[in-house]
């Protein structure tokens, strides 16, 4: 179990190998990578800056990870989230969930992302190709995805 906030990019293969090396009971690994799109609401994006709340971010990610572990019998997991200024095509976030069976690995990875997007204190600021800079508004659909887990069994 691990969470990490970093300006640096991540090496997906190395992270997965490290996470799974010592546990041969793992039968499935679900992995999600979030990337910077080259457009925002139909406009060309130049760059994206991610701000966060040091201390709270790590605490919140650890709470989310512990909850995923409890719900889905996750045997190993990792959340890496980048901060700072990123360009289109750059990686933003890596979530890995390992479990004995694929259903739990898939569900845990989705749960981790849904909760991360509504609970972890990260904020995105877009700079468009036109030069305009704006903070990204939270999406109602993200809140609904997280709320669906609240009402789900577990």
The values of phi and psi at residue 122, to 5°, are -120, 145
Rounded-to-integer distance, Cα 1 and Cα 86, Å = 26
Of these, 27, 43, 135, 152, which contacts other proteins (CB under 8 A)? 135
* Minimum gap (Å) between residue 118 Cβ and other proteins: 7
Answer yes or no whether residue 137 interacts with other proteins by CB under 8 A.
yes
* Minimum gap (Å) between residue 51 Cβ and other proteins: 6
Residues 68-87: x/- map of binding to other proteins (CB under 8 A)?
Answer: -------------x------
Rounded-to-integer distance, Cα 151 and Cα 154, Å = 9
Of these, 86, 92, 96, 108, which contacts other proteins (CB under 8 A)? 92
Range in contact with other proteins (rule: CB under 8 A) among 21-29, 64-72, 100-108, 137-145: 137-145
Helix, coil or strand: residue 17: helix
């Amino acid at each position: 179990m691990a969470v990490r906030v970093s300006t640096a990019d991540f090496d997906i293969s190395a992270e997965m190998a490290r996470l799974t090396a010592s546990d041969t009971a793992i039968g499935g690994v679900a992995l999600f990578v979030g990337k910077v799109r080259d457009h925002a609401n139909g406009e060309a994006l130049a760059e994206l800056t991610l701000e966060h709340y040091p201390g709270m971010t790590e605490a919140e990610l650890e709470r989310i990870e512990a909850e995923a572990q409890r719900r889905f019998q996750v045997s190993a997991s990792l959340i890496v989230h980048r901060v700072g200024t990123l360009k289109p095509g750059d990686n933003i976030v890596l979530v890995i969930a390992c479990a004995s069976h694929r259903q739990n690995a898939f569900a845990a990875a989705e749960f981790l992302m849904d909760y991360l997007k509504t609970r972890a204190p990260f904020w995105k600021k877009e700079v468009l190709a036109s030069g305009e800079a704006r903070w990204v508004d939270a999406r109602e659909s993200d809140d609904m995805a997280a709320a669906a887990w609240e009402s789900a069994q577990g």
